[in-house]
Structure 1
């Protein structure tokens, strides 16, 4: 099964150039860049990209290291283009590092099936799932240096909260609720990126002094009440995923998607109501199942439950529950059947983002996910 999934993902790789957005590289971007002390992926991406939140696509080819965050002062990065004209930053192995350091490399001995993150990036969104308490703890926009209701690039924003000077921040908006269909509990809220900014005053809440940031990029108009997080917070994913089955029983439900549709196809991203609290990890493979239609076998012969009268439904549920000896009006509950597989790639406490890897029919909201040991 895992080998089959690996083959499927490599088939996806063949379609990558046509699906991914073409990155726009700044005209003054250097051909090569030597990593400096204190640099972050976001800082370096901002040197190259007009829209730095697209940094994962720029860093899609780092085969020398198993985590694209592991870059060091003295590393030389080179801007290259693939056969389809897609830009990417790669490590220049011919360049001698200015300072020695230990690097974690991919070992040939680790020959287990993996899914490179580069194949998933066209389907990932800069979206997060945060609970109410977490959102309430974040710094948020009070207003701007101009009395307008929404802000655009280069406006100065005043923020309630203590920020780090010169650091990039993502500006997020609290969105729709993710609700557990079993408990009706609100698991989290969608947090959607609307823009980015760099802090130039740190602020001091104790003294009543707001922090100040300058808007660098916008995806939507920034509004008062939008909250801030460090640009890279929540965006760290492994460069490679090891495909494994969970070691414990998992039974959950597809509760939402990143495109807000109710029906999904292969390689679309969905949200499930299980997370680290259920011992889920990135790379876990789960089956997608759908209940088969219930049937009432009555005096007029078998009929799907939805096609029977209200009387038949009531009497069957009381007298003819599956396994009962009453043959006059018997309710049959066929088993759920497998309709696809998904891979978990971003995990929170009580929910996870997953990509649909295989489908036997269109996947729907409400389909269950599980692994039986």
Structure 2
């Protein structure tokens, strides 16, 4: 009987929360009944035409966000139509009208799997220049750098390289395109002090060049039996020969800042993964903090990248939209008790948290997430909170971790040591 009651209560709770969620979906009064997607449109921009809260875009489609997993399915020439089903707003495609517009791409299918959406989808937001960097992590594991290939030489023994330069790397095992980066600082959790990874700065892109390795081909069978597959012997002296590898030639495709000798290389494995995703609210409560701001600056604004100390383990995934908040703070107020000659009374009063902007997650790891700031009312700083949108003026809990008391003998020891170092007699 008790289990049955609990089940009913849970079902009622789900129904109430579902009704509350449905009520929260507000369509703008000037939302277009029919909209033709145009070149240059972004998903965030179209969402703003229909909703006050663009991160609720997936709910407007009348299904979970798997129905439209990413903006690849929305492309210029399509016609979007707003309808109401049982009083609920639903947005969908008018296929017939879309074809009449004459802009729907027609692709002849071959008997194999193809990515049909590439080249026709729209971006979630117009990130322009930053897009190249946002497809890759800004915080990576330290071990990844320890084993990463690196640039070892370039033209004229220079230390800095620019676009078009031929450079050479050690440690590359497969051809392709590589991001050039260097580590700038370690990232730790502000609460637990646990090491989370190292922040890196990307400076450009290099791509491998084909080359002929005649020296490796000419090694003897005896040498081949005693050396790794990619090594041969170089004779530096009639009596001395040393194992040698051949550096991988590359060309600098892009150099957005200084590409330096010694920089590390990261293989670009997700070139087809464009900055396209369906924005959505988090699936559960998130209480994250900004632990780093890309490029090492102290404050961030619109379209800049931030790193959060929460990741996949906390329910974050690509497209999750979070509110950015200046946490609640306590102020001391000196009040008078109203009686003649009475003493003043000091009270601590909490100032509610203020919503300072919105950010969307574009890359996650187990315990970290990179996000782009979509909107900002004021500057975002390290230590600011990232949580569900819509909590402006919420008096969020803001407890400081408890520090255990130090034993009296420790105080005495520290005091005596200080006096000795300062030549002060107690």
TM-score with structure 1 setting the length: 0.57
Check conservation: 1:255, 1:271, Cα contact below 8 A: yes
The aligned counterpart of 1:200 is: 210
The aligned counterpart of 1:341 is: 358
The aligned counterpart of 1:294 is: 330
Distance in 2 (alpha carbons) for counterparts of 1:281 and 1:2:
22
The aligned counterpart of 1:100 is: 111
Q: 1:155 to 1:279 in 2, by over 3 A?
A: same
The aligned counterpart of 2:157 is: 147
Q: Secondary structure at the match of 1:277?
A: helix
The one-character-per-residue Cα deviations of 1:220-250 (angstroms, maximum 9, x if unpaired) are 44333212222x3355545642232222321
The aligned counterpart of 1:371 is: 388
The aligned counterpart of 2:319 is: 283
Q: Secondary structure at the match of 1:135?
A: helix
RMSD of aligned alpha carbons = 4.2
Alignment of 1:352-363 (within 5 A): 352-363=369-380
TM-score with structure 2 setting the length: 0.51
Check conservation: 2:293, 2:299, Cα contact below 8 A: no
Verify: 1:177 aligned to 2:214, yes or no: no
Alignment of 1:201-280 (within 5 A): 201=211, 208-219=244-255, 220-230=257-267, 232-233=268-269, 237=273, 240-258=276-294, 260-280=296-316
Name the stretch that deviates more: 194-203 or 251-260: 194-203
Distance in 1 (alpha carbons) for counterparts of 2:302 and 2:155:
46
Q: 1:237 to 1:103 in 2, by over 3 A?
A: closer
Q: 1:247 to 1:12 in 2, by over 3 A?
A: closer
- Measured after TM superposition, the shift of residue 281 of structure 1 is 0.2
Check conservation: 1:154, 1:214, Cα contact below 8 A: no
Q: Secondary structure at the match of 2:192?
A: coil
Unaligned runs of 5+ in 2: 1-23, 32-41, 50-70, 77-102, 217-228, 233-243, 338-343, 392-426
Distance in 2 (alpha carbons) for counterparts of 1:362 and 1:153:
34
Q: 1:8 to 1:331 in 2, by over 3 A?
A: farther
Distance in 1 (alpha carbons) for counterparts of 2:283 and 2:328:
27
Number of residue pairs the alignment of both structures matches: 268
The aligned counterpart of 1:77 is: none
Distance in 2 (alpha carbons) for counterparts of 1:274 and 1:333:
26
Check conservation: 2:319, 2:362, Cα contact below 8 A: yes
Distance in 1 (alpha carbons) for counterparts of 2:249 and 2:167:
5
Alignment of 1:29-40 (within 5 A): none
Check conservation: 1:158, 1:210, Cα contact below 8 A: no
Q: Secondary structure at the match of 1:250?
A: coil
Distance in 2 (alpha carbons) for counterparts of 1:95 and 1:243:
28
The one-character-per-residue Cα deviations of 1:86-142 (angstroms, maximum 9, x if unpaired) are xxxxx9945645x43344667xxxxxxx98335344553526321211111111122
Question: Which structure shows the bigger proportion of residues in helix conformation?
Answer: 2
Verify: 1:330 aligned to 2:347, yes or no: yes
Distance in 1 (alpha carbons) for counterparts of 2:163 and 2:177:
14
The one-character-per-residue Cα deviations of 1:317-362 (angstroms, maximum 9, x if unpaired) are xxxxxxxxxx943333344233332221122332222222344444
Name the stretch that deviates more: 340-349 or 253-262: 253-262
Check conservation: 2:180, 2:206, Cα contact below 8 A: yes
Distance in 1 (alpha carbons) for counterparts of 2:204 and 2:168:
16
- Measured after TM superposition, the shift of residue 192 of structure 1 is 0.9
